[in-house]
Amino acid sequence: MNTYKSRNEVPENEKWNLNDIYPSLEKWEEDYRHIEQIAEKLKEYDGHITDGSSLFQYLEQKEKLSYLFNKLYAYAMLKTDEDTRVTESQSYVDRAKQLSVKISSSTSFFMPYLLSLAEDTLKGYVAEEKGLKYFEEDLLESFRYKPHVLNKDKEEVLSHLGEALSAPSHTFGMINNADIKFGEVTGEDGDRVELTRGMYAKIMEDEDRSKRKEAYKAYYQPYVQLKNSIASTLSAAIKNNVTMAKIRNYPSALEKGLFGDKVPKEVYENLIETTKNNIGPMHQYIRIRKDKLGLEELRQYDMNVPLVKGVKPVITYEEAYETMCKALSPLGEDYISTLKEFKTLRYIDVRETPGKRSGAYNLGIYGVHPYILLNHRDDLDSLFTLAHECGHGVHSKLSSQHQPQITARYSIFVAEVASTVNEVLLINYLLNNEKDEEVRKHLLNHFIDQFKGTFFTQVMFAEFEMRTHEMAEKGQPLNADVFNQIYERLFREYNGNEIIFDEEVKYGWSRIPHFYRPFYVYKYATGFASAIHLATKILEGDKETLNSYLEFLKSGSSDYPLELLKKTGVDLTTPYPIENSLKEFRELVEEFGEL
């Protein structure tokens, strides 16, 4: 594996080309000034939108501003992520953020104005100004929120409370990222070293069980010590959410959380119920894990260690790209030629270098193209990450090509579908082409663990959120003991009775940042299940599914997420797609057990 001491050492063709956004910083500055001017202009519309023509002019200007601002912000962010230590890049991000505040304040009058109109008046404006046809669906979508928007004075009061309401989330972020210290553990050469999150994930895969146990205890210790403070922030976040749902006239906090995507609460409940009705193979996998590790007692810190030892295939970036293109060939020639463009036209930043942002992501920029950040390490995980992010990338590219700006961005609800379809096609290709039994076992183990993390764990989290919000709605107390009881009960239901409980297990709730963004994690599970369902059909050679899936990738947000998925044959209002993907999980576990 290549390790680079600086970004300059990385070959040009493995670095993204930001000139496609701005050929020079002067152009960036030019757009900055232009956006400021448009924002000032938009402010002048306050109180002066009186007919279809003025409404159209406002919306047209605002869309132009969005287009320019997205480019401007994306450039600053991508530049910063190349090397987060460079203060000049950081200053561009700071300036873009300040500009965003200016834009918000210039346009804050519009939503209350729009919702003060009678629906007939708005329809009259659309009829008199044909340019408004383009914005019509968006305008009427805003009307869906009308029952949940208060009068101008009350809305203003709520806008002032924004910062106070986000305090629990902010406090948890500070505790979790800035204040928590995990103490010391034994390092590779026997010295005591400070435990970090990144190190913890690595040690949990270490074959030395005493090291895993030591890291596990050290990792949870600060959470257990701070249990009452963290319970207080989580309880406040839940109660704030419940209160806001009441103030805004939603039947429940859950329904408020699902409203934006127009998802009925039955979809959420069905996900949990169907998963629990089919939980057997998950328990079976944990029994296999216990047997394979040869343990008298299986514990939480034994859950991440790979079951197949000594399999670490080296896969260069070139090989990974080639393998990915072969694996995704069932998606057709157009899909593959789009993928090849990503590499030759330098949409991807490949290598890990000092100061570069960790992890991986895809960022679609309308009117330009997607950019993908990787930290490629020439291993199996990196191959999967490449396929995953390229799934998002092609989804962004096709939606931008086939949709106008207003509907080009897809919602998070459908985002994970495109990335996971790629991963399923990849694992299938690798299993079909791998002769080495040990590598096959390793691949199956990798996919089962991914299924466990992306699907079962997220459903368990989703149920935890639902139960705790229901308690708050009934006025029941929420504290560390209550959270412990709920989390422990759910953990046992989802993972079975093979795991011996250490005291730390029930504190799992205390370290999950997603709980401060309520009713969000279930989307990982529905996206994953939808993707398994689609990939299975595509691999069976179902042409209709393939064609409807490729159409789905071009659809952006031209319809609500559930409707877009229905067009591909995935109906999440029924148990079928969830049952189908759980059947796939059962088959994986059975095959792994036989091997």
Bridge partners of 351?
376
**pLDDT for res 489:** 97
Nearest to 515 by CA among 455, 464, 452, 467: 464
**pLDDT for res 160:** 76
177 pLDDT higher than 90 = no
Q: What percent of the chain stands above pLDDT 70?
A: 100
Instruction: Tokens for 104, please give them.
Output: 């918000």
pLDDT, tens digit (0-9, with 9 covering 90-100), for 338-356: 999 999 999 999 999 988 9
Number of other residues whose CB lies within 10 A of the CB of residue 210 = 9
Paired sense of beta strands 184-186 and 361-364, if any: unpaired
| 8-state DSSP, 497 | S
Dihedral Cα 67, 71, 74, 80, nearest 10 deg: -150
Q: Which residue has the higher pLDDT, 89 or 187?
A: 89
Bridge partners of 348?
372
Question: Among 101-105, 153-157, 475-479, 523-527, where is mean pLDDT lowest?
Answer: 153-157
Residues 239, 484: Cα–Cα separation, whole Å:
18
- 140-163: average pLDDT: 83
| Model pTM score | 0.89
| 8-state DSSP, 455 | I
Residues 484, 466: Cα–Cα separation, whole Å:
15
Q: Which residue has the higher pLDDT, 200 or 28?
A: 28
- 62-81: average pLDDT: 97
pLDDT, tens digit (0-9, with 9 covering 90-100), for 395-413: 999 999 999 999 999 999 9
- Assess contact for 58 and 49: CB atoms under 8 A: yes
Mean of the per-residue pLDDT values of the chain: 94
Give the pLDDT band of residue 2 (cuts 50, 70, 90): low
388 pLDDT higher than 90 = yes
Active-site option among 389, 416, 465, 504: 389
| 8-state DSSP, 83 | -
- Assess contact for 279 and 269: CB atoms under 8 A: no
CA-to-CA dists, residue 570 to 56, 392, 527, angstroms = 37, 19, 11
Backbone φ, ψ for residue 5 (5° rounding): -80, -25
**pLDDT for res 199:** 84
523 pLDDT higher than 70 = yes
Bridge partners of 484?
none
Nearest to 263 by CA among 575, 560, 553: 560
20 pLDDT higher than 80 = yes
DSSP characters over 151-188: -HHHHHHHHHHHHHHTHHHHHHHIIIIII----EEE-T
Nearest to 180 by CA among 235, 211, 216, 225: 225
- Assess contact for 344 and 47: CB atoms under 8 A: no
pLDDT, tens digit (0-9, with 9 covering 90-100), for 116-133: 999 899 999 999 999 999
pLDDT, tens digit (0-9, with 9 covering 90-100), for 276-326: 999 999 999 999 999 999 999 999 999 999 898 877 788 999 999 999 999
Residues 504, 494: Cα–Cα separation, whole Å:
17
1 pLDDT higher than 70 = no
**pLDDT for res 151:** 78
Residues 319, 297: Cα–Cα separation, whole Å:
41
**pLDDT for res 411:** 93
**pLDDT for res 407:** 96
3-state SS, residue 348: strand
**pLDDT for res 108:** 86
Backbone φ, ψ for residue 72 (5° rounding): -60, -45
Which residue is associated with the tokens 């749902």?
245
CA-to-CA dists, residue 372 to 50, 269, 364, angstroms = 44, 35, 9
Give the pLDDT band of residue 189 (cuts 50, 70, 90): confident
- 236-264: average pLDDT: 96
> What domains can be seen in the chain, in order of their start residue?
7-149 (1.20.140.70), 181-225 (1.10.287.830), 317-441+522-562 (1.10.1370.20)
The answer to whether residue 156 is catalytic is no
Paired sense of beta strands 361-364 and 298-299, if any: unpaired
Number of other residues whose CB lies within 10 A of the CB of residue 524 = 22
Bridge partners of 349?
373
pLDDT, tens digit (0-9, with 9 covering 90-100), for 421-439: 999 999 999 999 998 888 8
- Assess contact for 145 and 256: CB atoms under 8 A: no
Residues 210, 189: Cα–Cα separation, whole Å:
15
